[in-house]
Structure 1
């Protein structure tokens, strides 16, 4: 592993972030998406090459003797029925059936079977020229060696960008056709479509996708998430089970609705329920009451959920949680009796609980969104209870809860700080007059050679980097990181991420170098600076108390500009080494039941 990560999953939603991430990479999705999926001379040649030169009369398939096995229920079926079942199954299911049943294992793969692989619902359905009479006559189809065509198109999927792009588009259209084929409906949904998003009511504590407003001349183009309907449900009785419905689009599984099955077997439904594609939250036997949800959210909406009960139980994840920022924002100290969901045409875009409930992790007395660990959208996971975030020094802590601003943490010290001994260099990437990325480099004995705190997706010249050497193998350790921010006078509109604190300088100290080393991009003469003065804001220095070790950093991520605001993470490595630390589940259980 040379580098981690190359990019963040939510960047592809932003067209600027997507292009910047893949520009210049010939094997990237950007190159794939620009390949012509219609003109495929290789496929035309494969159709010609798969034609048999000798016209063969129809032959009966040779069926091997069927093994007698009392446990094989399929042996009672006629061979013609078995062949029909085999032709209807996708290829991976055919392989499983042949492993599980001798009746299927004894069936040969006939020409009829290979031809079925090109049906519209099978894995070669996108090669429609093979079965469409306007491209291949009935005589040509009868005289085709379908197995050879299957093998040749499989090779094209490896070598041809045009073929890969056609399959990509075909898969997208299949998802879209499925959504249009069975329109979703819920009579309880209230239409709330606005020309532009409005701030959520203070009566609700929300978690949702990116509703950032777009300029009037671009709406709705570029909108990452849109609210069309909303629904509020009441849950007055204990819950027996919770089932989550999913809908698929563009290779992603989105949560579309939640079905609460109550103690008396009555049902409360929120959103679009798809009984054919549901997964149950595993919370164990017995009835319970809900006190919160741990959520994973993409810019498009709610992607995964964990439920928290009044007994302190926490369910496993259901949905796509590894690829998306997560938050504890909807975890309450009391039972939740009302839940509000917002939806677009097929999926849930936000989830909210009443704000009058006491949060499981209380905010400060001034009503600010603290602590960050339990209200922010964290990636790749929620920081452990042992991670001290020094929130008072983080200038981005004032962001509104309704904004989609992922907080990314990277533990350059590794598990229990074991990577600190390998750290040899820090490299800061600058663009214009701001710091947009930091790389941590390790010596050859380390399991990871480089960790990237932020991919270089910011606008500007990415080739300018400022190095700082550190002798981790000799015992040198970072003792302080202070990030100063600035807002540019020309960036007056609220949608400009620089208003949240572009990092304009970074001071680093170590136990070997107590005098701060300052990364100062504005001192580099060749950089093109923004028009207008820069209003600088000096942040407070994080105090690393004795016994604590600096092992990580976190920052607010923007797909266009890179890093916005930064904080540091420290840990008590001695306590962790001795096993004196809690898991997130243990922390939740202790707060609920004491």
Structure 2
């Protein structure tokens, strides 16, 4: 397998002329000693492109080309842990394995983390937390264009999957300008060092600039600030904002900018030129304006600096994570996981908000994995909860929970990051005489972890959600009968990936309380007819697959009189989606749908091959909703009478004895249908289905 640098995404090894692409470091662990990583010295990638060998000095101070370093002292590091002996390898329990990155990229990470040191344990946990497809880490970005991307989040489409690398990196003469740029050594910046030396010899004085402020009303505001304070404000702003402020305010436009201001540009615009910080400590005589203007020109002309800027931007969220998490240790009592097998197994029955996961430890290509499990006991009434968040590559996740008890006690669970906390008040329940009750949570579960939390005072009542929740599956995790006194949670290196509460003495088995839902958890008054749901076997095997509903009738059926048609979309005779149309817009739309309604080629086929196209067919059944026609019965079944419901069909009947099968080719001889017929004058107001990560619509039935 061809591997890439987990920091910059560029190729590791087999470069003819770019030595920096062949030199690597690794954060590695020995066998199953998961929690004690080491940083290797600088090694050289050997072997073939698709069977590379990563041999490196075991100590970070050493290099493979150091005089006196003996090759036999190098260790062979594998890209993943092994559980069976391999030819020529060490026994699995002592075989080093780890994550690989260019030695140059490691220096950039160190420079960006400065003045703090890189916490190897924290960094290793973060790396272990991310999926590893295509020979690198999937952070949720494309490494600045090195990888192709595709919508890959099988639940809500907000994540990405990495495609193949851009072009052929093994050919140094590849004319693709992106590849030419990404192969440039980010530390080979001799012209920058020359400019720094020249700036030391330049004469300098306090400089003024003339920018006409076309409109200004700040004579009684900014103008009354001391000159030093106004310049200090400018020092903290990026250069584009400085120019905008000077154009808008005469009080700032008239400032004579000092060398202090020009020096501040290397804390804002050009922080990635870390040689300035290293070679010119504050107080060093230097013409900072000369330095700024010349480096500004060099940045655009030097491909190596442009590649460095790309890598620096990629590392920004990672360095923030390493620094923040090194100061925010995981809170809670340790519980057993695969990675902590020495902890006693918990025999308690738990109600779990299940995360998505890839269970194959050697091929962790999507989802998330719990590296740690923590438990807290809440023995007092909970009156409020603080939720901590962490952002990685533009996606926000829940990282920790802090419970506030009636006696003033604070109980912490997970990574508590104070500056991100959001407060949620625990509500009261009428069944408990208005006393605040903590009965559980409502959570949104993304592909990589939990992204939002609400506090439930009853399964039918909860606080607003804190965190990202639009278009993400929701899961109700609450008790009908008791306040929650214990919470267990699973964490990876920086976020919450699972959440459990003790099971009720009388466990709830309704679909509403058992599975994830989109766009939200169904109203407790809806009749889901769970006993007729033909996909129970499938959804129980994959509880992370969300149930998605189309509630076209509206609350109390108020939209049924506006319904004019119901359509089914199919591909090769397989039902893929349902679409309804209204005569007049409802919330700005005349069409609502569930599943793949004319979007299969765009969303599904592209994941297989961009050239793969299938015929999408639509069958429409007109309904006279304005005239009082209603759907009053539904028959549904799997084509082959399978409990999984992988090839569903259904038949609707209206109160005018009109009926239609979807797909049209189906008929009663296919399977043994289940019939849903509301009592009295009630009508069908919606359908729901389960969507797998293969984007296939499974059974449909009405709430």
Query: Which position in structure 2 is the counterpart of 1:343?
Result: 491
Deviation at 1:303, TM superposition (A): 1.6
Query: Per-residue CA shift, 1:439-475, capped at 9, x if unaligned?
Result: 2234576742422211334568542314123143663
State the alpha-carbon separation in 1 of the partners of residues 491 and 164 from structure 2.
31
1:387 & 1:178 partners in 2: Cα distance?
A: 45
- Deviation, structure 1 residue 391: 1.6
1:540 is matched with 674
Aligned residue number for residue 319 of structure 2 = 177
Question: Against the structure 1 CA distance between its residues 352 and 465, is the aligned structure 2 distance closer, same or farther, given a 3 Å change threshold?
Answer: same
CA contact (8 A) 1:437 1:452 kept: yes
- Aligned-residue Cα RMSD (Å) equals 5.3
Aligned partner of 1:106 in structure 2 is 251
Superposition deviation, residue 392 in structure 1: 1.7
The residue number in structure 1 matching 2:396 is 253
Decide which structure has the larger Cα Rg and report it. 2
Change in CA separation of 1:259 and 1:19 when aligned onto 2, cut-off 3 Å: closer
Change (3 A) 1:328 1:20: closer
CA offset digits 1:371-418 (Å, max 9, x no partner):
x12332111112223322222211223533972021111122345545
Counterpart-to-counterpart distance in 2, 1:95 and 1:480: 67
Counterpart for residue 545 of structure 2: 405
**Larger deviation, residues 382-391 vs 187-196:** 187-196
CA distance in 2, matches of 1:196, 1:510: 58
Cα distance change of structure 1 residues 91 and 140 upon mapping to structure 2, 3 Å threshold: closer
Q: Work out whether residues 489 and 499 of structure 2, in 8 Å CA contact, stay in contact via their aligned partners in 1.
A: yes
Task: State the match for 1:454 in structure 2.
Answer: 595
Distance 1:352 1:520 in 2: 44
Contact kept, 8 Å, 2:444 with 2:473, in 1: the verdict is: yes
Aligned pairs for 1:403-552 (under 5 A) are: 403-414=543-554, 417-443=557-583, 447-455=588-596, 456=600, 457-458=603-604, 462-472=614-624, 475=627, 476-486=629-639, 500-520=644-664, 538-552=672-686
Superposed CA deviations along residues 56-112 of structure 1, whole A, max 9, x for unmatched, are: 99742469999675xx6x7775323322223314699989999xxx9x783239889
Could you say which residue in structure 2 is the equivalent of 1:190? 334
The alignment of Structure 1 onto Structure 2 pairs a total of residues equal to 483
Deviation at 1:315, TM superposition (A): 2.4
Choose the corresponding residue for 1:266, options 388, 405, 409: 409
Give the aligned partner of residue 592 of structure 1: none
Tell me, in whole angstroms, the C-alpha distance in 2 between the residues paired with 1:548 and 1:33.
56
8 A contact 2:444–2:475 mirrored in 1: yes
Moved more, 280-289 or 377-386: 280-289
Report the TM-score, using the length of structure 2 for normalisation. Answer: 0.56
In the TM superposition, what are the counterparts of 1:225-240 in structure 2 within 5 Å?
225-240=368-383
Ranges in structure 1 where 5+ consecutive residues have no aligned partner = 1-11, 23-27, 42-55, 153-162, 364-368, 489-497, 524-534, 570-594
2:701 corresponds in structure 1 to 567
Q: 2:640, 2:670 within 8 Å by CA — same for their partners in 1? A: yes
Distance 2:573 2:583 in 1: 30
* Aligned 8 A contact 2:634 2:677 in 1: no
Greater relative CO, 1 or 2 (CA 8 Å, sep 6+): 1
- Cα distance 1:95–1:454, how it changes in 2: closer, same or farther (>3 A)? farther
Counterpart residue number, 2:232: 84
**C-alpha distance in structure 2 between counterparts of 1:114 and 1:482, whole Å:** 74
Using a 3 Å threshold, how does the CA distance of structure 1 residues 445 and 452 change in structure 2: closer, same or farther? closer
- CA separation of 1:560/1:313 partners in 2, compared to 1, >3 Å: closer, same or farther? closer
Supply the distance in 2 between the matched residues of 1:505 and 1:126 (Cα, whole angstroms).
Answer: 60
Cα displacement (A) at 1:507: 1.6
Q: Please, what TM-score do these two structures have when normalized by structure 1?
A: 0.65
Please tell me whether the aligned partners of residues 335 and 374 of structure 2 are also in contact (alpha carbons under 8 angstroms): no
Cα displacement (A) at 1:31 = 10
Q: Secondary structure at the match of 2:315?
A: helix
2:364 aligned counterpart, secondary structure:
coil
Secondary structure of residue in 2 paired with 1:566: coil
CA distance 1:483–1:84, change in 2 (3 Å): farther
Query: Does the aligned pair in 2 maintain the 1:332–1:357 contact within 8 Å?
Result: no
Contact kept, 8 Å, 1:427 with 1:465, in 2: the verdict is no
Residue 206 (structure 1) aligned with residue 347 (structure 2): no
Cα distance 1:505–1:308, how it changes in 2: closer, same or farther (>3 A)? closer
Secondary structure at 1:567 match in 2: coil
Structure 1 506/358 Cα, relative in aligned 2: closer, same or farther at 3 Å? closer
Deviations 1:216-260, CA, capped at 9 Å, x for gaps: 7xx333130101111111111223532111111121211111112
Distance 1:562 1:482 in 2: 20
